[in-house]
Structure 1
């Protein structure tokens, strides 16, 4: 056999091995969980919390914390990123409790004290069960869904199936398949990826106001991703730009806190366009100069 055949066979073999490894190892590449012992005690200064454990229909336990505000105006269901546990993410609850909102955070399967086999379908189902329990005590018009990075996809899916007051996406992705494609452009990711997370598709079915917050210097999920997402439902969507913001440091920008305050404390007002220039168009015709 010619040498080129052996080279082709070798390349195909390596490609197949990489594909198999990617399929079975992607959970370890995508998720960076911190596991906590069952008797771990959560503690946050100047924050009142209540811990919950919810058993799912397949026997998994989903652990969560509710950060309590005095005389709450509503509840923020905060869906975190792909790393650590709510032990660390809990410090961000203060950005909402100080404005009078309770905050609910949960650990996905395999994170913190939560158990169970992690799949996209299972996590979506878990979050809907939790959302349903929240609705038993809080009317949907007082529920805000907040999705951070990985959690932005799950928050969008929840919003598409329910009727919360609003959806806030912090550094969202178009889809995880698109993110992975940036780093592995030659792999058949449509066949391999277990968590495609098509935020762009789910966003089409959201009926509430959508607020997208993104930093211009985000190296992991580029700012242009949010620009594309904002065009899916332009009448419902407001894009908030953090100049110089990265992927993990938006909370260190004063502009982020101003934006967040405006979003959750300001009641939406209808704009009266009567007498405005909304229908005025600039002329594109060339005017011939007269001699």
Structure 2
């Protein structure tokens, strides 16, 4: 009887271990599909886009689709780094509010996302961010403010470190993708498996431009604590604004956009990109 029970227990243990390893293997091989869900490669046309379609070439030969609405003379342009499931044609609400304030907006599709060539990776997205900034800076149209949303916050932080920008606005930011993933999958050795860790926590202290952090109080995808950890690592000047009653996908509110506009209005005059 004892021998039979022990055999059953060993069999169950083997099945459990094999099942766990299968789950870990699947997460490893499909991780980029999970991290970049908007990278369908399908073009999503819009009969009335909110800006002019432009093409941005990257240093490694990819071509990015982007929408651009210029700022009024002397006013800043916000360079939008979208979230991982975003399509840039859906940001007309933001472009319209900014335009009413004289602000410009440039939003681009990461490589592999609708309208852009290539396949997404951390290395690739960081190159995309620099290429988008350089394209905008070449127009010499005024100060450039980086606006990073969710996944895009890590790309924005890297761009702010590598380029001279007027300011940095981070919406639903994280300290690192690896830390957030570990919170969601506590029983998986995430740091050993993750290909794209987006370590904003290793970069933010060296970004000396003015910074605005905006985070939903009840964000279930990127917890408020993750944004707070990044804020604590950031150098001055910096501001943190909690969006009460807001989560991750409903973060865009009139109050949040008002915070962004007020922040841009309070920046010192001049164009640090020149």
Q: TM-score, normalised by structure 1?
A: 0.82
8 Å Cα contact 2:180/2:226 also seen in 1: no
2:209 alignment counterpart: 208
2:80 alignment counterpart: 78
1:217 alignment counterpart: 218
Larger CA Rg, structure 1 vs 2: 1
Mapped partners of 2:172, 2:86: distance in 1: 17
Mapped partners of 2:144, 2:59: distance in 1: 25
1:230 alignment counterpart: 231
Does 1:264 pair with 2:268? no
| Alpha-carbon shift at residue 227 of structure 1 (Å) | 2.0
Mapped partners of 1:230, 1:37: distance in 2: 36
1:16 alignment counterpart: 21
8 Å Cα contact 2:218/2:245 also seen in 1: yes
Mapping of residues 106-185 of structure 1, within 5 Å: 106-138=108-140, 142-185=143-186
- After superposition, the C-alpha distances for 1:259-291 in whole angstroms (9 at most, x for unaligned) are 12210112359xxxxxxxxxxxxxxxxxxxxxx
Please state whether the residue corresponding to 1:110 is helix, strand or coil.
coil
Does 1:249 pair with 2:269? no
2:272 alignment counterpart: none
1:29 alignment counterpart: 34
Please state whether the residue corresponding to 1:196 is helix, strand or coil.
coil
Corresponding residue pairs, total:
263
Q: TM-score, normalised by structure 2?
A: 0.86
Q: Which moved more, 1:234-243 or 1:191-200?
A: 234-243
| Alpha-carbon shift at residue 117 of structure 1 (Å) | 1.8
Structure 1, gaps ≥5 residues long: 270-291
CA RMSD of aligned residues (A): 2.4
Please state whether the residue corresponding to 2:161 is helix, strand or coil.
helix
Mapped partners of 1:258, 1:129: distance in 2: 28
Runs (4+) off by over 4 Å: 4-8
Quick check: which one's helix share is greater?
Answer: 2
Mapped partners of 1:130, 1:256: distance in 2: 24
Mapped partners of 1:17, 1:194: distance in 2: 18
8 Å Cα contact 2:169/2:260 also seen in 1: no
Mapped partners of 2:43, 2:166: distance in 1: 35
| Greater RCO structure (CA 8 Å; 6+ sep) | 2
Mapped partners of 1:257, 1:55: distance in 2: 30
1:189 alignment counterpart: 190
